[in-house]
Chains A and B, each alone.
Chain A
Amino acid sequence: MPDEPTTPVIEFRDVCFRVERTPVLSRVSLQVNRGETLVLLGRSGSGKTTTLKLVNRLVTPSSGEVRVNGISNAQVDVIHLRRGIGYVLQEAGLFPHFTVERNIGIVPHIEGWSAGRIRARVQELLQLVGLSGEFVSRYPHQLSGGQRQRVGVARALAADPEILLMDEPFGALDPLTRDELQREFLSLQRRLHKTVIFVTHDLREALRLGSRIALMEAGKLVTVLAPQEFLKSSDPWASAYVRAFGDGLETAANRGTS
Protein backbone atom coordinates (compact mmCIF):
# COMPACT_ATOMS: atom_id res chain seq x y z
CA MET A 1 0.00 0.00 0.00
CA PRO A 2 1.49 3.31 -1.02
CA ASP A 3 2.03 5.80 1.73
CA GLU A 4 -0.69 8.37 1.50
CA PRO A 5 0.22 11.70 3.01
CA THR A 6 -2.35 12.07 5.75
CA THR A 7 -3.12 15.53 7.05
CA PRO A 8 -2.95 15.61 10.81
CA VAL A 9 -6.36 16.40 12.26
CA ILE A 10 -4.90 19.08 14.49
CA GLU A 11 -1.69 20.94 13.88
CA PHE A 12 0.15 23.61 15.82
CA ARG A 13 2.67 25.57 13.79
CA ASP A 14 5.11 27.57 15.84
CA VAL A 15 2.41 28.92 18.11
CA CYS A 16 3.19 31.64 20.61
CA PHE A 17 0.77 33.12 23.08
CA ARG A 18 1.43 36.13 25.19
CA VAL A 19 -0.64 37.85 27.83
CA GLU A 20 0.47 41.48 28.00
CA ARG A 21 4.03 40.67 27.05
CA THR A 22 4.31 37.71 29.42
CA PRO A 23 4.89 34.63 27.31
CA VAL A 24 2.49 31.82 28.16
CA LEU A 25 3.31 29.60 25.22
CA SER A 26 6.54 29.70 23.27
CA ARG A 27 6.88 28.20 19.81
CA VAL A 28 4.69 25.19 20.22
CA SER A 29 4.64 22.92 17.21
CA LEU A 30 2.59 19.78 17.44
CA GLN A 31 0.60 17.36 15.33
CA VAL A 32 -2.32 15.23 16.39
CA ASN A 33 -3.29 12.33 14.15
CA ARG A 34 -6.68 10.86 13.48
CA GLY A 35 -7.91 8.46 16.12
CA GLU A 36 -5.10 9.07 18.55
CA THR A 37 -5.30 10.23 22.15
CA LEU A 38 -2.69 12.89 22.64
CA VAL A 39 -2.09 13.64 26.29
CA LEU A 40 -0.84 17.10 27.24
CA LEU A 41 1.07 16.49 30.42
CA GLY A 42 2.57 19.11 32.65
CA ARG A 43 2.30 20.82 35.96
CA SER A 44 0.17 23.83 36.76
CA GLY A 45 1.15 26.84 34.73
CA SER A 46 2.88 24.77 32.09
CA GLY A 47 0.49 26.02 29.42
CA LYS A 48 -1.33 22.77 28.71
CA THR A 49 -4.84 24.14 29.20
CA THR A 50 -4.01 27.16 27.06
CA THR A 51 -2.78 24.85 24.34
CA LEU A 52 -6.04 22.94 24.53
CA LYS A 53 -8.10 26.08 24.27
CA LEU A 54 -6.24 27.15 21.16
CA VAL A 55 -7.86 24.26 19.34
CA ASN A 56 -11.43 25.47 19.77
CA ARG A 57 -10.28 29.05 19.64
CA LEU A 58 -11.25 30.00 23.16
CA VAL A 59 -7.80 31.49 22.92
CA THR A 60 -6.16 32.91 19.81
CA PRO A 61 -2.42 32.69 19.13
CA SER A 62 -0.27 35.82 19.31
CA SER A 63 1.79 34.36 16.47
CA GLY A 64 1.85 31.11 14.60
CA GLU A 65 -1.07 29.06 13.39
CA VAL A 66 -3.43 26.41 14.60
CA ARG A 67 -4.94 24.18 11.93
CA VAL A 68 -7.85 21.83 12.18
CA ASN A 69 -8.22 19.40 9.29
CA GLY A 70 -5.78 21.44 7.31
CA ILE A 71 -7.57 24.74 7.61
CA SER A 72 -6.32 27.53 9.83
CA ASN A 73 -8.54 28.19 12.81
CA ALA A 74 -8.42 31.88 12.19
CA GLN A 75 -10.15 31.44 8.86
CA VAL A 76 -13.17 29.40 9.79
CA ASP A 77 -16.40 30.45 11.44
CA VAL A 78 -15.64 29.96 15.12
CA ILE A 79 -19.14 28.77 16.03
CA HIS A 80 -19.05 26.14 13.33
CA LEU A 81 -15.59 25.11 14.48
CA ARG A 82 -16.64 24.72 18.09
CA ARG A 83 -19.77 22.77 17.33
CA GLY A 84 -17.65 20.24 15.57
CA ILE A 85 -15.42 19.78 18.61
CA GLY A 86 -16.50 18.15 21.85
CA TYR A 87 -15.36 19.95 24.98
CA VAL A 88 -15.19 18.37 28.42
CA LEU A 89 -13.98 20.32 31.42
CA GLN A 90 -13.03 19.45 34.92
CA GLU A 91 -16.17 19.63 37.04
CA ALA A 92 -18.10 19.09 33.83
CA GLY A 93 -19.45 22.64 33.57
CA LEU A 94 -22.94 21.23 33.19
CA PHE A 95 -25.73 23.77 32.95
CA PRO A 96 -27.30 23.61 36.42
CA HIS A 97 -30.70 24.75 35.23
CA PHE A 98 -30.99 22.11 32.52
CA THR A 99 -31.96 18.49 33.00
CA VAL A 100 -29.49 15.85 31.96
CA GLU A 101 -31.41 15.47 28.75
CA ARG A 102 -31.27 19.18 27.90
CA ASN A 103 -27.62 19.30 28.87
CA ILE A 104 -26.64 16.46 26.62
CA GLY A 105 -28.88 17.65 23.82
CA ILE A 106 -27.69 21.26 23.80
CA VAL A 107 -25.56 21.20 20.68
CA PRO A 108 -28.01 19.09 18.66
CA HIS A 109 -30.69 21.49 19.81
CA ILE A 110 -28.94 24.60 18.60
CA GLU A 111 -28.05 22.75 15.43
CA GLY A 112 -31.73 22.32 14.81
CA TRP A 113 -32.23 18.62 15.30
CA SER A 114 -35.82 17.48 15.77
CA ALA A 115 -36.97 16.73 19.30
CA GLY A 116 -37.39 13.06 18.56
CA ARG A 117 -33.95 12.72 17.09
CA ILE A 118 -32.44 14.47 20.12
CA ARG A 119 -34.28 12.24 22.56
CA ALA A 120 -33.09 9.12 20.79
CA ARG A 121 -29.52 10.37 20.67
CA VAL A 122 -29.60 11.20 24.40
CA GLN A 123 -30.69 7.67 25.24
CA GLU A 124 -27.97 6.28 23.03
CA LEU A 125 -25.33 8.42 24.70
CA LEU A 126 -26.46 7.64 28.22
CA GLN A 127 -26.04 4.00 27.44
CA LEU A 128 -22.64 4.71 25.96
CA VAL A 129 -21.41 6.39 29.13
CA GLY A 130 -22.97 3.79 31.37
CA LEU A 131 -25.96 5.66 32.77
CA SER A 132 -29.50 4.34 32.75
CA GLY A 133 -32.22 6.06 30.76
CA GLU A 134 -34.01 7.34 33.85
CA PHE A 135 -31.29 9.96 34.28
CA VAL A 136 -32.81 12.15 31.60
CA SER A 137 -35.00 14.10 33.96
CA ARG A 138 -32.45 14.56 36.73
CA TYR A 139 -30.63 17.78 37.41
CA PRO A 140 -26.85 18.09 37.80
CA HIS A 141 -27.08 18.84 41.49
CA GLN A 142 -28.79 15.51 41.97
CA LEU A 143 -25.84 13.61 40.49
CA SER A 144 -22.59 12.39 41.98
CA GLY A 145 -19.29 13.72 40.69
CA GLY A 146 -18.72 10.67 38.58
CA GLN A 147 -22.18 10.78 37.12
CA ARG A 148 -21.73 14.44 36.26
CA GLN A 149 -18.52 13.72 34.39
CA ARG A 150 -20.22 10.95 32.43
CA VAL A 151 -22.95 13.38 31.45
CA GLY A 152 -20.24 15.86 30.49
CA VAL A 153 -18.68 13.31 28.16
CA ALA A 154 -22.08 12.39 26.73
CA ARG A 155 -22.74 16.08 26.12
CA ALA A 156 -19.44 16.47 24.33
CA LEU A 157 -20.20 13.51 22.10
CA ALA A 158 -23.78 14.46 21.31
CA ALA A 159 -23.30 15.91 17.85
CA ASP A 160 -20.78 13.22 17.03
CA PRO A 161 -17.76 15.49 16.65
CA GLU A 162 -14.55 13.94 15.37
CA ILE A 163 -12.43 15.81 17.92
CA LEU A 164 -12.69 15.75 21.70
CA LEU A 165 -10.94 18.19 23.99
CA MET A 166 -10.75 17.08 27.59
CA ASP A 167 -9.33 19.35 30.28
CA GLU A 168 -8.45 17.29 33.34
CA PRO A 169 -11.91 15.74 33.25
CA PHE A 170 -11.30 13.22 36.03
CA GLY A 171 -9.23 15.48 38.24
CA ALA A 172 -11.88 16.24 40.82
CA LEU A 173 -13.00 12.67 41.35
CA ASP A 174 -12.11 10.12 43.99
CA PRO A 175 -9.56 7.45 42.96
CA LEU A 176 -12.08 4.64 42.55
CA THR A 177 -14.38 6.65 40.32
CA ARG A 178 -11.40 8.00 38.43
CA ASP A 179 -10.17 4.50 37.75
CA GLU A 180 -13.63 3.46 36.59
CA LEU A 181 -13.98 6.39 34.24
CA GLN A 182 -10.49 5.93 32.82
CA ARG A 183 -11.34 2.33 31.99
CA GLU A 184 -14.55 3.40 30.36
CA PHE A 185 -12.74 6.09 28.41
CA LEU A 186 -10.43 3.48 26.95
CA SER A 187 -13.33 1.26 26.00
CA LEU A 188 -15.16 4.20 24.45
CA GLN A 189 -12.10 5.15 22.42
CA ARG A 190 -11.80 1.63 21.12
CA ARG A 191 -15.33 1.90 19.82
CA LEU A 192 -15.45 5.45 18.57
CA HIS A 193 -11.88 6.24 17.49
CA LYS A 194 -12.19 9.93 18.22
CA THR A 195 -9.24 12.25 17.95
CA VAL A 196 -8.68 13.31 21.55
CA ILE A 197 -6.48 15.87 23.24
CA PHE A 198 -6.44 15.07 26.93
CA VAL A 199 -4.94 17.42 29.49
CA THR A 200 -3.67 16.09 32.81
CA HIS A 201 -0.92 16.55 35.36
CA ASP A 202 -1.14 12.91 36.40
CA LEU A 203 1.54 10.78 34.73
CA ARG A 204 -0.23 7.57 35.61
CA GLU A 205 -3.33 8.75 33.80
CA ALA A 206 -1.24 9.94 30.87
CA LEU A 207 0.52 6.61 30.52
CA ARG A 208 -2.74 4.73 30.74
CA LEU A 209 -4.82 6.76 28.34
CA GLY A 210 -2.47 8.37 25.85
CA SER A 211 -1.24 7.02 22.56
CA ARG A 212 1.35 9.73 22.83
CA ILE A 213 2.35 12.03 25.65
CA ALA A 214 3.31 15.64 24.99
CA LEU A 215 5.21 16.96 27.97
CA MET A 216 5.00 20.69 28.57
CA GLU A 217 6.96 22.87 30.91
CA ALA A 218 6.83 26.67 31.29
CA GLY A 219 4.99 27.18 28.05
CA LYS A 220 7.30 25.05 25.93
CA LEU A 221 6.76 21.67 24.43
CA VAL A 222 9.55 19.57 25.89
CA THR A 223 9.04 16.25 24.19
CA VAL A 224 6.39 14.05 22.61
CA LEU A 225 6.74 10.33 23.24
CA ALA A 226 4.70 7.15 23.32
CA PRO A 227 4.10 5.89 26.90
CA GLN A 228 6.74 3.16 26.90
CA GLU A 229 9.36 5.49 25.51
CA PHE A 230 8.44 8.13 28.00
CA LEU A 231 9.30 5.80 30.87
CA LYS A 232 12.68 5.05 29.42
CA SER A 233 13.35 8.59 28.28
CA SER A 234 16.53 10.33 29.30
CA ASP A 235 15.02 13.78 28.87
CA PRO A 236 15.55 15.61 32.18
CA TRP A 237 11.96 16.75 32.57
CA ALA A 238 10.49 13.45 31.55
CA SER A 239 12.65 11.53 33.94
CA ALA A 240 11.90 14.04 36.68
CA TYR A 241 8.25 13.30 36.17
CA VAL A 242 8.80 9.56 36.19
CA ARG A 243 10.75 9.81 39.40
CA ALA A 244 8.09 11.97 41.02
CA PHE A 245 5.46 9.40 40.36
CA GLY A 246 7.29 6.45 41.86
CA ASP A 247 6.27 2.85 41.22
CA GLY A 248 3.60 1.03 39.34
CA LEU A 249 4.00 3.14 36.22
CA GLU A 250 4.85 0.18 34.03
CA THR A 251 1.46 -1.33 34.70
CA ALA A 252 -0.26 1.91 33.81
CA ALA A 253 1.68 2.16 30.59
CA ASN A 254 0.83 -1.37 29.70
CA ARG A 255 -2.86 -1.07 30.41
CA GLY A 256 -3.02 1.89 28.10
CA THR A 257 -1.64 0.09 25.09
CA SER A 258 -3.77 -3.03 25.28
Chain B
Amino acid sequence: MNVVRFMLQNRTQVLELTSEHLWLVGLSTALAVLIGVPLGILISRRASLNKPVLASANIIQTIPSLALFGFLLPVPWLGARSERLAILALTLYALLPIIRNTFTGIRGVDPAVVEAGRGMGLTESQLLFQVQLPLAVSVILSGIRVAIVISVGLATIAAAIGAGGLGEFIFRGLAMVDNRVILAGAIPAAILALLADLGVGWLEGRLRPR
Protein backbone atom coordinates (compact mmCIF):
# COMPACT_ATOMS: atom_id res chain seq x y z
CA MET B 1 0.00 0.00 0.00
CA ASN B 2 1.29 3.43 -0.95
CA VAL B 3 0.65 5.01 2.41
CA VAL B 4 2.33 2.25 4.36
CA ARG B 5 5.37 2.40 2.10
CA PHE B 6 5.50 6.17 2.51
CA MET B 7 5.26 5.89 6.27
CA LEU B 8 7.97 3.27 6.41
CA GLN B 9 10.26 5.35 4.21
CA ASN B 10 9.71 8.33 6.46
CA ARG B 11 9.48 6.47 9.70
CA THR B 12 11.82 8.82 11.52
CA GLN B 13 9.54 11.70 10.84
CA VAL B 14 6.43 9.69 11.59
CA LEU B 15 7.89 8.75 14.95
CA GLU B 16 9.03 12.28 15.62
CA LEU B 17 5.65 13.80 14.85
CA THR B 18 3.93 11.07 16.84
CA SER B 19 6.05 11.80 19.86
CA GLU B 20 5.34 15.52 19.50
CA HIS B 21 1.68 14.66 19.38
CA LEU B 22 1.94 12.46 22.47
CA TRP B 23 3.69 15.26 24.30
CA LEU B 24 0.91 17.73 23.47
CA VAL B 25 -1.82 15.31 24.47
CA GLY B 26 -0.03 13.85 27.48
CA LEU B 27 0.97 17.10 29.12
CA SER B 28 -2.37 18.80 28.56
CA THR B 29 -4.32 15.79 29.86
CA ALA B 30 -2.10 15.58 32.92
CA LEU B 31 -2.68 19.27 33.61
CA ALA B 32 -6.40 18.90 33.07
CA VAL B 33 -6.49 16.03 35.55
CA LEU B 34 -4.47 17.98 38.11
CA ILE B 35 -6.87 20.91 37.83
CA GLY B 36 -10.10 19.16 36.93
CA VAL B 37 -10.26 16.38 39.49
CA PRO B 38 -9.83 18.66 42.51
CA LEU B 39 -12.34 21.07 40.98
CA GLY B 40 -14.76 18.22 40.46
CA ILE B 41 -14.30 17.16 44.07
CA LEU B 42 -14.85 20.73 45.21
CA ILE B 43 -18.10 21.21 43.36
CA SER B 44 -19.40 17.86 44.55
CA ARG B 45 -19.19 19.23 48.07
CA ARG B 46 -20.36 22.78 47.46
CA ALA B 47 -23.59 22.79 45.57
CA SER B 48 -23.36 26.54 45.00
CA LEU B 49 -20.23 26.18 42.90
CA ASN B 50 -21.69 23.43 40.81
CA LYS B 51 -23.46 25.51 38.16
CA PRO B 52 -20.86 28.24 37.62
CA VAL B 53 -17.95 25.85 37.27
CA LEU B 54 -19.70 23.44 34.95
CA ALA B 55 -21.14 26.32 32.95
CA SER B 56 -17.71 27.88 32.45
CA ALA B 57 -16.18 24.63 31.33
CA ASN B 58 -19.10 24.17 29.01
CA ILE B 59 -18.63 27.59 27.44
CA ILE B 60 -14.98 26.88 26.76
CA GLN B 61 -16.04 23.69 25.03
CA THR B 62 -18.24 25.58 22.62
CA ILE B 63 -15.47 27.84 21.33
CA PRO B 64 -14.18 26.44 18.04
CA SER B 65 -10.65 25.28 18.65
CA LEU B 66 -9.03 27.18 15.82
CA ALA B 67 -10.73 30.34 17.07
CA LEU B 68 -9.39 29.76 20.57
CA PHE B 69 -5.90 29.30 19.16
CA GLY B 70 -6.38 32.55 17.28
CA PHE B 71 -7.53 34.50 20.36
CA LEU B 72 -4.56 33.34 22.35
CA LEU B 73 -1.93 34.08 19.71
CA PRO B 74 -1.41 37.74 20.62
CA VAL B 75 -1.03 36.94 24.34
CA PRO B 76 2.63 37.72 25.20
CA TRP B 77 4.13 34.67 26.85
CA LEU B 78 1.74 32.19 25.27
CA GLY B 79 1.93 33.35 21.70
CA ALA B 80 5.71 33.39 21.70
CA ARG B 81 5.78 29.62 21.60
CA SER B 82 2.84 27.91 20.01
CA GLU B 83 3.26 24.69 22.00
CA ARG B 84 2.45 26.62 25.17
CA LEU B 85 -0.63 27.99 23.55
CA ALA B 86 -1.64 24.61 22.19
CA ILE B 87 -1.14 22.92 25.54
CA LEU B 88 -3.16 25.59 27.31
CA ALA B 89 -5.98 25.27 24.81
CA LEU B 90 -5.94 21.47 24.93
CA THR B 91 -5.98 21.57 28.72
CA LEU B 92 -9.00 23.87 28.69
CA TYR B 93 -10.87 21.59 26.32
CA ALA B 94 -10.10 18.56 28.44
CA LEU B 95 -11.46 20.18 31.59
CA LEU B 96 -15.18 19.74 31.05
CA PRO B 97 -15.30 15.95 30.72
CA ILE B 98 -12.92 15.54 33.62
CA ILE B 99 -14.65 17.95 35.99
CA ARG B 100 -18.07 16.68 35.09
CA ASN B 101 -17.18 13.03 35.48
CA THR B 102 -15.39 13.60 38.76
CA PHE B 103 -18.50 15.37 40.01
CA THR B 104 -20.83 12.66 38.74
CA GLY B 105 -18.57 9.90 39.97
CA ILE B 106 -18.41 11.20 43.49
CA ARG B 107 -22.08 12.07 43.65
CA GLY B 108 -22.83 8.65 42.24
CA VAL B 109 -21.30 6.84 45.15
CA ASP B 110 -24.05 5.13 47.14
CA PRO B 111 -25.08 7.70 49.77
CA ALA B 112 -25.64 4.90 52.27
CA VAL B 113 -22.00 3.96 51.96
CA VAL B 114 -20.91 7.56 52.47
CA GLU B 115 -23.21 7.96 55.43
CA ALA B 116 -21.99 4.71 56.94
CA GLY B 117 -18.44 5.94 56.59
CA ARG B 118 -19.20 9.30 58.09
CA GLY B 119 -21.22 7.77 60.89
CA MET B 120 -18.37 5.47 61.79
CA GLY B 121 -16.05 8.39 62.31
CA LEU B 122 -14.08 8.71 59.09
CA THR B 123 -12.86 12.26 58.64
CA GLU B 124 -13.95 14.02 55.46
CA SER B 125 -10.57 13.49 53.87
CA GLN B 126 -10.48 9.82 54.86
CA LEU B 127 -13.93 9.50 53.39
CA LEU B 128 -12.78 11.17 50.19
CA PHE B 129 -9.58 9.25 49.67
CA GLN B 130 -10.51 5.85 51.03
CA VAL B 131 -14.14 5.59 50.04
CA GLN B 132 -15.44 8.16 47.55
CA LEU B 133 -12.51 8.47 45.16
CA PRO B 134 -11.81 4.75 44.86
CA LEU B 135 -15.48 4.13 44.17
CA ALA B 136 -15.64 7.01 41.70
CA VAL B 137 -12.40 6.23 39.93
CA SER B 138 -14.00 4.26 37.14
CA VAL B 139 -16.29 7.14 36.23
CA ILE B 140 -13.46 9.64 36.54
CA LEU B 141 -11.33 7.51 34.23
CA SER B 142 -14.16 7.49 31.76
CA GLY B 143 -14.01 11.28 31.73
CA ILE B 144 -10.26 11.16 31.26
CA ARG B 145 -10.71 8.75 28.41
CA VAL B 146 -13.09 11.12 26.65
CA ALA B 147 -10.67 13.99 27.27
CA ILE B 148 -7.77 12.06 25.74
CA VAL B 149 -9.70 11.08 22.66
CA ILE B 150 -10.83 14.68 22.15
CA SER B 151 -7.28 15.91 22.67
CA VAL B 152 -5.78 13.57 20.12
CA GLY B 153 -8.14 15.02 17.55
CA LEU B 154 -7.71 18.64 18.62
CA ALA B 155 -3.96 18.35 18.71
CA THR B 156 -4.00 17.78 14.97
CA ILE B 157 -5.38 21.28 14.60
CA ALA B 158 -2.60 22.63 16.75
CA ALA B 159 -0.28 22.07 13.82
CA ALA B 160 -2.07 24.91 12.09
CA ILE B 161 -0.48 27.28 14.56
CA GLY B 162 2.87 25.62 14.41
CA ALA B 163 2.76 23.39 17.45
CA GLY B 164 3.86 20.34 15.49
CA GLY B 165 2.41 16.91 15.93
CA LEU B 166 0.69 14.62 13.45
CA GLY B 167 -1.50 17.46 12.20
CA GLU B 168 1.56 18.79 10.46
CA PHE B 169 1.49 15.87 8.06
CA ILE B 170 -2.16 16.56 7.41
CA PHE B 171 -1.67 20.24 6.63
CA ARG B 172 1.43 19.62 4.58
CA GLY B 173 -0.34 16.92 2.68
CA LEU B 174 -3.20 19.29 1.97
CA ALA B 175 -0.80 21.95 0.67
CA MET B 176 1.04 19.41 -1.43
CA VAL B 177 -2.19 17.74 -2.51
CA ASP B 178 -0.61 14.44 -1.54
CA ASN B 179 -2.92 11.90 0.08
CA ARG B 180 -0.11 9.76 1.41
CA VAL B 181 1.17 12.62 3.50
CA ILE B 182 -2.30 13.42 4.78
CA LEU B 183 -2.86 9.82 5.76
CA ALA B 184 0.57 9.55 7.30
CA GLY B 185 -0.75 12.03 9.82
CA ALA B 186 -4.36 10.94 10.03
CA ILE B 187 -3.78 7.22 10.48
CA PRO B 188 -1.38 7.37 13.43
CA ALA B 189 -3.63 9.96 15.05
CA ALA B 190 -6.61 7.67 14.69
CA ILE B 191 -4.62 4.75 16.06
CA LEU B 192 -3.52 6.82 19.04
CA ALA B 193 -7.11 7.75 19.79
CA LEU B 194 -8.20 4.14 19.50
CA LEU B 195 -5.44 2.85 21.71
CA ALA B 196 -6.22 5.43 24.35
CA ASP B 197 -9.89 4.60 24.20
CA LEU B 198 -9.31 0.87 24.50
CA GLY B 199 -6.55 1.12 27.06
CA VAL B 200 -8.31 3.45 29.43
CA GLY B 201 -11.56 1.62 28.82
CA TRP B 202 -9.96 -1.61 29.96
CA LEU B 203 -8.67 0.12 33.08
CA GLU B 204 -12.15 1.48 33.77
CA GLY B 205 -13.60 -2.00 33.60
CA ARG B 206 -11.04 -3.34 35.99
CA LEU B 207 -11.69 -0.60 38.51
CA ARG B 208 -15.44 -0.55 38.40
CA PRO B 209 -16.89 -1.35 41.86
CA ARG B 210 -19.07 -4.42 41.84
Whether A and B touch (Cβ < 8 Å) is answered with yes
Q: Which residues of A contact B (CB under 8 A)?
A: 53, 56, 58, 79-87, 89-97, 106-107, 110, 139, 141, 155-156, 165
Given contacts A139-B210, A141-B210, contact A96 B113 (CB under 8 A): yes
Q: Does B134 contact A (CB under 8 A)?
A: yes
Take A82-B120, A83-B121, A107-B120 as given contacts and tell me if A93 and B135 are in contact as well, using a CB distance cutoff of 8 Å: no
Most buried by A among B113, B122, B134, B210: B113
Sorted from nearest, which 9 A-B pairs have the closest CB atoms? A93-B116, A82-B121, A83-B121, A87-B119, A93-B112, A141-B210, A96-B209, A97-B209, A93-B113
- A56–B119 touching, CB < 8 Å: yes
**Majority secondary structure, B binding face:** helix
Q: How far is the CA of A212 from the CA of B131 in the complex (A)?
A: 36
**Residues of the B chain whose Cβ atoms lie less than 8 Å from the Cβ of A89:** 112, 115-116, 119
* Known A-B contacts A58-B115, A139-B210, A141-B210; A93 and B110 likewise in contact (beta carbons under 8 Å): yes
Quick one: which of A79, A92, A93, A165 contacts B121, CB cutoff 8 A?
A: A79
Say whether chain A's binding surface is mostly helix, strand, loop, or mixed.
mixed
Name B residues whose Cβ lies closer than 8 Å to a Cβ of A.
110, 112-113, 115-123, 126, 131, 134-135, 209-210
- CB-CB under 8 A for A87 and B116, given A82-B121, A110-B121, A110-B126: yes
Contact of A95 among B118, B119, B131 (CB under 8 A): B131
Please name the residue on chain B nearest to A142 by beta carbon: B210
A94 to B122 alpha-carbon distance, docked (Å): 14
Q: How far is the CA of A156 from the CA of B121 in the complex (A)?
A: 11
A97 neighbours in B (Cβ, 8 Å): 134-135, 209
Cβ–Cβ contact A94 & B121, under 8 A: no
Contacts of B120 in A (CB 8 A): 82-83, 86-87, 106-107, 155-156
**Which residues on A sit within 8 Å (CB–CB) of B115?**
58, 89, 93
Chain A proximity of B159: nearest CB distance (Å):
42
On chain B, the residues within 8 Å of A87 by CB distance are: 116, 119-120
